[in-house]
Structure 1
C-alpha cells in the first residue's frame, strides 16, 4: 500500500492525468515517491512515442511533431516549464533576492523571454529529431536528474522539496539509478545516462555557488534543460 500511494503521488505530482487521487504528502511515502520519478518519466515518454507511432503517416510530420510537443507540455501541466521560467527570473536579480523572486507567482520579463526562446529551441529540436523511440529514456533521465539533485544537494527553500529531501534515502536513490541505467542500456543509450548526470553536476554546481543549494524551481529547470540537451545529443549522432 505504501508503494502504491508513493507511485500515485509521484504520478499526480508529475502529470495532470487524473488516474489517482493521492495528493497528500503522507509521512513515509515521499522518498519512495521521488524514487518513482524516472518511471513516471518513462511512462510519459512511452505515451508520446506510441502516439507518434500511431499517427505517423496519417498526420503531416511537422504538424504531428507540434502535437507531440504540445502533449509533452500539457501532460506535465507545464510544471517544469514554470520552474524554468522562475529560475531564469532569479538569475537576473541580486543573489540575496533570487529566492524571493523565484517564489513570486508572477513571471518576469526575462523569464518570459527566455522561456519562449527555450520552447522554440525545444520544438525545433523535436522537429529535427527522428528517434522517437528514445523519448521514454529522455523523459526518464531528466527526472532521474531531479532525484539525484534532491539527494545530493542542499535544499534552500520551503515546501514539498523539503519533505522529499528529508525522506529520500540511499536505497530509494539506488532503485531510481539502477532502474534508469538498465533502461538506458536496453535502449542502447548509456551515453545519455552518463551525459545527463554530468550535465546535472555542472548545473547544480552553478546554483549551489549562487544560492548555497537548490529549490523546487531549480529541479524543474534541471528537468527541462536535461531534456533539451539529450534531444540534441541524439540529433548530433550520440545515440549508441
Structure 2
C-alpha cells in the first residue's frame, strides 16, 4: 500500500503521507501507473460533472483540463516543452540534453504545449456527451500506460536523473500486469480497448526517434510521450465516433 501511495505522490500533487519510508524496490511500483491514471480520471470526471451544473460547457472543458494540470503539477506538459525545445534544436546530443535540462521555455516548446492544449480542449468539446465521461477517465490511464511502455527496453542517456528510477528497469511481467489493469478499466468505454495496440505503436516510433536523437529516453521525453498519447487518444475517439 505504501508503494502505491508513493507512486501516486510521485505522479501527482496528491499528498497522502508526507514522509514515506525509503523503498529499495520503488521501481516495481510502476504497475500502479495506470491505477494512478484512473484516480486522476475519476477526479476529472467529478470536476466536470460538478462544474457542468452551473457553467457553460466550453468553460467546463477548460476548467477540467486546467484542473488536470494542477493535479499533475504540469509535470508532463513541462516535459513536452523541454523535449520539443531540445529534439528540434538541430544540435548535437550533449547540447540537446542541456537544452532539455534548461528550465526556460523556447519557441518549439511553447508551440508544442499550445498545440496539445488546443487539441485536447476542442477535441473534448466535439465528443458526444455520453462519450466524454469515458474519455476523461481513460485519457489519464492511457497516458500512464504509455510511461510503462516508454520505460520498457529503453536506455537512459544521462548519468543520473529522476527518469533513471524506471527507465530500462521494467520487465515483461510488469508490462503485462499494467496492460491487464488497463484492460479492466476499459470496461467503462469498451471502444477504448482497441487503442492499446495503437498506443504501443506510437510508443515504439517515439522511442526510436528519441534514441536516434539522444540515445534513449529521459523523464522529459516520457512526459512528452504521455501528452502525445493522450492527444492521440482523443483523436482516436473522434475518428471512431465519426466512422461508427
Q: Same fold (TM over 0.5)?
A: yes
How far has the Cα of 1:30 moved from its partner? 2.1
Q: 2:216 aligns with which of 210, 213, 216?
A: 213
- Contact 2:62–2:121 (CA<8 Å) still a contact in 1? yes
- Contact 1:191–1:238 (CA<8 Å) still a contact in 2? no
How far has the Cα of 1:107 moved from its partner? 1.4
Distance 1:160 1:133, change over 3 A: same
Distance 1:23 1:213, change over 3 A: farther
- Contact 2:154–2:168 (CA<8 Å) still a contact in 1? no
Structure 1 partner of 2:182:
180
Structure 2 partner of 1:46:
42
The answer to whether the aligner puts 1:192 opposite 2:195 as a matched pair is yes
Structure 2 partner of 1:111:
109
Structure 2 partner of 1:129:
127
How far has the Cα of 1:126 moved from its partner? 2.2
How far has the Cα of 1:198 moved from its partner? 1.5
Q: Distance in 2 between matches of 1:205 and 1:218?
A: 12
The answer to whether the aligner puts 1:8 opposite 2:5 as a matched pair is yes
- TM-score normalised to the size of structure 1? 0.89
Q: Distance in 2 between matches of 1:113 and 1:193?
A: 27
The answer to whether the aligner puts 1:55 opposite 2:57 as a matched pair is no
Structure 2 unmatched runs, 5+: none
- TM-score normalised to the size of structure 2? 0.88
**Moved beyond 6 Å, runs of 4+:** none
Distance 1:25 1:199, change over 3 A: farther
Count of matched residue positions in the alignment of Structure 1 and Structure 2 = 236
How far has the Cα of 1:187 moved from its partner? 2.6
Moved more, 118-127 or 147-156: 118-127
Structure 2 partner of 1:171:
173
Structure 1 unmatched runs, 5+: none
Structure 2 partner of 1:36:
32
Q: Distance in 2 between matches of 1:166 and 1:31?
A: 12
Distance 1:112 1:186, change over 3 A: closer
How far has the Cα of 1:94 moved from its partner? 1.1
